[in-house]
């Protein structure tokens, strides 16, 4: 009898687990890229991109290029070549209609930032927007950014992260586990400038503010950093 129950329950549990994994995979592969494209395309974030992306010049690596929301903000007269790196081919597919209008070469690299398939010192600019929150091994990724950047190159960043107010921080820490699960690995509470500096950069200029929106996800850091 006990053996019989076990034989019934274990495959049943296995089935539930399988269904949950399948549902998560479908969500992350097909639905999440569209949700991220929509939320990251909202006006306050688009205004932030306008402050940072036009400063990119030369051979540019954009880490976590996503659905290409930054593409319209590059200055065509300054950019020689753009590598757009992202592990998600499905998200990049949403950038297709923006590509035809650009006056510079764009090369998509399907890879993770923790292991960038480019030679050391090959980029004049590395751009990263709303992605430091998501990369699993973020320090490894930022060290890779440091490696591929020329010694006189610039890291441009615009990210949301840990807020300065304790009351907001408390909500960021409380909600982070759930948020991370539904948000494709996005963390609400990463200390952005500290991470950039730990990876070997010196921050040259930085501004911060809450952009309009949900407070736990809206404290923004943007600026420029050099290699040290
Ligand atoms: C919130 S989206 C931001 C996309 C884009 N940077 C923007 O500003 O709209 C985060 C992006 O990070 C990408 N990502 C996740 N893990 C990554 C990794 N290990 N290396 C590089 N990109 C990663 C995701 O695929 C997604 O496109």
| Exposure string for 39-78, b = 16+ CB within 10 A, e = fewer | ebeeeebeebbeebbebbbebbbbbbbbbbbbbebbeeee
CATH 3.40.640.10 fits 41-227, yes or no: no
* Number of helices followed by number of strands (H, E) in the chain: 8, 7
Position 21 scores a pLDDT of: 77
pTM: 0.91
Q: What residue ranges do the domains of the chain occupy?
A: 41-227
pLDDT digits (tens, 9 = 90+) for 200-210: 999 999 999 99
Q: How confident is the model at residue 198 (pLDDT cuts 50, 70, 90)?
A: very high
Give distance in angstroms: CA of 90 to centre of ligand 1: 12
| Residue 16, pLDDT above cutoff 60 | no
Give SS3 for 32: helix
Higher pLDDT, 215 or 9: 215
Of ligand 1's listed atoms, the one at least distance from the Cα of 40 is 9
- In 22-78 the beta strands, taken as DSSP E runs, fall at 58-63
If one counts every other C-beta atom within 10 angstroms of the C-beta of residue 162, the result is 19
Whole-angstrom distance, CA of residue 28 vs CA of residue 185: 10
What's the whole-number mean pLDDT along residues 180-208?
97
Give distance in angstroms: CA of 11 to centre of ligand 1: 36
Whole-angstrom distance, CA of residue 128 vs CA of residue 86: 11
Tell me which residues have their CB closer than 6 angstroms to ligand 1. Answer: 36, 40, 63-64, 66, 69-70, 86-88, 91, 112-114, 129-131, 134-136, 141
Query: Mean pLDDT over all residues of the chain?
Result: 92
Q: How confident is the model at residue 212 (pLDDT cuts 50, 70, 90)?
A: very high
């Amino acid at each position: 009898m006990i053996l019989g129950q076990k034989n019934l329950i274990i495959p049943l549990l296995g089935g539930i687990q399988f269904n949950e994994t399948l549902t998560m995979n479908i969500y992350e592969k097909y639905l999440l890229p569209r949700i991220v494209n929509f939320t990251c395309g909202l006006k306050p974030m688009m205004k932030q991109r306008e402050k940072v992306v036009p400063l990119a010049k030369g051979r540019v690596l954009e880490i976590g290029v996503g659905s290409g929301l930054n593409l319209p903000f590059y200055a065509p007269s300054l950019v020689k070549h753009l590598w757009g790196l992202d592990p998600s081919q499905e998200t990049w597919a949403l950038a297709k209609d923006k590509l035809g209008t650009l006056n510079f070469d764009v090369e998509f690299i399907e890879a993770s930032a923790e292991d960038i398939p480019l030679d050391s010192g090959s980029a004049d600019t590395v751009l990263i927007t709303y992605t430091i929150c998501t990369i699993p091994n973020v320090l490894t990724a930022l060290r890779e950014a440091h490696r591929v950047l020329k010694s006189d190159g610039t890291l441009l960043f615009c990210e949301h992260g840990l807020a300065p107010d304790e009351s907001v921080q408390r909500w960021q820490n409380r909600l982070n586990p759930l948020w991370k699960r539904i948000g494709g690995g996005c963390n609400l509470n990463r200390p952005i400038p500290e991470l950039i500096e730990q990876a070997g950069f010196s921050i040259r200029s930085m501004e911060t503010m809450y952009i309009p929106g949900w407070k736990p996800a809206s404290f923004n850091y943007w600026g420029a950093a050099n290699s040290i």
